[in-house]
Amino acid sequence: MGKVWLVGAGPSDAGLLTLKGKEVLSQAEVVVYDRLVGPGILSMISSKARCIDVGKRAGNHTMAQEEINQVLLKEAQAGKRVVRLKGGDPFLFGRGGEELELLARNNIPFEVVPGVPSAISVPAYNGIPVTHRDQVSSLHIITGHKKKGEPYDLDFEALVRTGGTLVFLMGYGALAELCQGLLEAGMAPDMPAALLQQGTTAGQKRVVATVATLTEEAEKHAIETPAIILVGKVAGYAEEFSWYEKLPLFGSQILVTRPRERSGVLCGRLRELGAEVVELPAICTVRIADNPLLLQELEQLDRYDFLVFTSPAGVNHFFDALLEQKKDIRSIGTAQIAVIGPGTEKELNRRGLLADWKPSCYDAQSLGVLLGTVCADGQKLLIPRASQGNPKLVEEITKRRKVTVTDLPIYDTVYESGSDAVDVHRLYQGKKRPLALFTSASTVRGFAEACKALDFSLVKALCIGRQTQAEADRLGMETYVSKEATMDSLIARAVELVEEEKAGQ
């Protein structure tokens, strides 16, 4: 017997997914998701999980609710760990109760993981507190959805009498009727009101007006769905309390193609700066199994004069293998250590070691030139790295010095396709194109492999170095390059590009 977790994904911002929601999602075997779930959250789903798009969005349902209920039951009866992933909170107009009824009748185990509701979080991201001691002391969340051609079954007079903040979800299509109903029930025409588009995402936009003028203003500003309607005095705080749009990367959607185990810090910093981040790991590194050459070299490390690392993965795979053989850093003897750049150096430092050499330009050719300058004829160098390492490193060393170089493959770079739930093609169909970050030529190739049908001329690519940029240029992408091959420089260049785009609008 399997189990179902009903998980609220929140309003879209991946940072607003609860810790429990993220943990449950990472362990799911089957994920049944709605289209209102943000791509940043969908990208967290394991590539091993089977994803079922039930397409629930206003006016566009791929699967009827009764069918969704049956899917959950069938998958759980098949013994699967099933996550039903819903936008916002599953029990707030999310029909979560309906989905649990069938499971309960069939004795299927289930849990509910509440989500951050959009009725509170979206106004917060727009600088609107839904309650304020000096203005309102109550909040009322109302569904704006109604059957086509039928009048609203709402007691507008009762809503007006509350004097509280009114938040209408799923009501944009009937905005004029809602505003008119409130006015006819006695609400003051100058009562502040706001329409909040795609809150917590790169598409966030708001219109603040009054109940009498909101419909007209929404049409002027071409507001798109999903959008929520907020009516109440607190809407007047939007300008004073606004904060999200003041962040330097606000309004940008950024695709991070770095390996998942290496992208956490980068993604976190981009989110802190206001970006909507979608993780699309294009590659992963896998240590070569049954590697007798590696085992042989681990037994004779003290014969080397230089130990050379060209990536953080190389450091980690090498020292992990060393420990597995019951050896520690004393095994490397007096060898000098060279690294290709700051990222690799940081991983070395985590192992309690300092680098002796690092080139000023962080690429294989520059590292080779440096080593060819500082080493002496007759010395021995060990380079534990990827099986498809850049040949320029060894070429630059050996054309300068008569040395013995052991170019030791210890891991493979494998392309990843990411979660099936992330529709990359759909991301590039919008008015604004995402900015794709590439931290190596292999991430470009991995991205291309995973998105073969994509028109790569649509891809705005920010690359960490010239070699990476050359690979993106080869595919016809619109390319930009960071000033230095570091994460700090990459982020700084992303901020510059977003600022340039905003200035040109």
Q: Is the peptide bond before 312 cis (omega within 30 degrees of 0)?
A: no
* Annotation says 432 is catalytic: no
Q: Which of 3, 22, 34, 86 is catalytic?
A: 34
Q: What strands, in cross-sheet order, belong to the sheet with 110-113?
A: 50-53, 30-33, 81-86, 3-8, 110-113
The two beta strands, 253-256 and 276-279, are parallel
Are the C-beta atoms of residues 129 and 241 closer than 8 Å to each other? yes
Classify the phi-psi angles of 274: left when phi > 0, otherwise alpha if psi is within -120 to 50, otherwise beta. Answer: left
Task: Note whether 440 and 464 are within 8 A (CB).
Answer: yes
402 catalytic? Reply is: no
Contact 65, 98 (CB under 8 A): yes
How many residues are listed for the chain in this entry?
505
CA 397 to CA 331: how far, in whole Å?
25
- Please give the Cα distance from 458 to 76 (Å, whole number): 41
CA distances to 129, 151, 161, 189 from 182, rounded to whole Å, are 21, 14, 10, 9
In 20-144, where do the E strands start and end?
30-33, 50-53, 81-86, 110-113, 139-143
For residues 78 and 91, what is the distance between their CA atoms, to the nearest angstrom?
26
From 56, 80, 205, 358, the catalytic residue: 56
Rounded CA separation 425/427 (Å): 5
* Block residue for tokens 């099986």: 387
**Which helix (DSSP H) or strand (DSSP E) does residue 306 occupy?**
strand 306-309
Question: Which residues are known to be catalytic?
Answer: 34, 56
